[in-house]
Amino acid sequence: MKFIDEVNINVKAGDGGRGCLSFLREKYVPLGGPDGGDGGRGGDVLLEVDTALTTLLDLRYKHHLKAKNGIPGMGKNKHGKSGEHLVIKVPPGTLVYDEETGELLADLTKVDQGFLLLKGGQGGRGNARFLSSTNRAPRHTQPGMPGEERILRLQLKLLADVGLVGLPNAGKSTLISCISAARPKIADYPFTTLVPNLGVVKHGDFRSFVMADIPGLIEGASDGHGLGVRFLRHIERTDLFLHLVDLSYLQEGDPIENFEKINHELERFKQELSERPMLVVFTKQDITEVREETEKIRAEFEQRGFKTFAISAVTREGLPELVTIIASELDRMRQADPLDSSSDEG
Q: List the chain pLDDT tens, one digit each, 346 residues.
A: 466 788 999 999 999 999 999 999 888 777 788 999 999 999 999 999 998 888 888 898 888 999 999 999 999 999 999 999 999 999 888 999 999 999 999 999 888 888 999 999 999 999 999 999 889 889 999 999 999 999 999 998 877 889 888 887 778 888 888 888 766 544 443 444 456 777 888 887 778 888 888 775 655 444 444 455 566 777 788 889 999 998 887 677 788 888 888 888 888 888 888 888 999 999 999 988 989 999 889 999 999 899 999 999 889 999 999 999 999 999 888 786 654 544 444 3
pLDDT of residue 81: 96
267 & 172 share domain: yes
Strand partners, 209: 201
pLDDT of residue 84: 96
pLDDT of residue 281: 94
Residues in the chain: 346
Single-letter amino acid code for the residue at 58: D
Phi, psi of 70, rounded to the nearest 5 degrees: -70, 150
Distance CA 47, CA 176 (A): 31
Strand partners, 133: none
How buried is residue 37: exposed, middle or buried, by Cβ count under 10 Å (0-12/13-18/19+)? buried
17 & 72 share domain: yes
3-class secondary structure, 269: helix
219 & 255 share domain: yes
Phi, psi of 325, rounded to the nearest 5 degrees: -65, -40
Which residues, 6 or more positions from 337, have their beta carbon under 8 angstroms from its beta carbon? none
pLDDT of residue 219: 52
Distance CA 223, CA 129 (A): 63
pLDDT of residue 226: 44
Distance CA 279, CA 85 (A): 47
Please check whether residue 346 lies inside any domain of the structure: no
170 & 143 share domain: no
Pairing of strands 207-213, 278-282: unpaired
167 & 82 share domain: no
pLDDT of residue 79: 96
CA-CA-CA-CA torsion sign (301, 235, 206, 109): positive
The structural domain count of the chain equals 2
Which residues, 6 or more positions from 224, have their beta carbon under 8 angstroms from its beta carbon? none
Please check whether residue 344 lies inside any domain of the structure: no
The residue out of 140, 156, 172 marking a domain boundary is 156
184 & 142 share domain: no
CB–CB of 277/329 below 8 Å? Answer: yes
Please check whether residue 40 lies inside any domain of the structure: yes
Range of the domain at 92: 1-156
255 & 225 share domain: yes
Distance CA 333, CA 326 (A): 11
Pairing of strands 278-282, 240-245: parallel
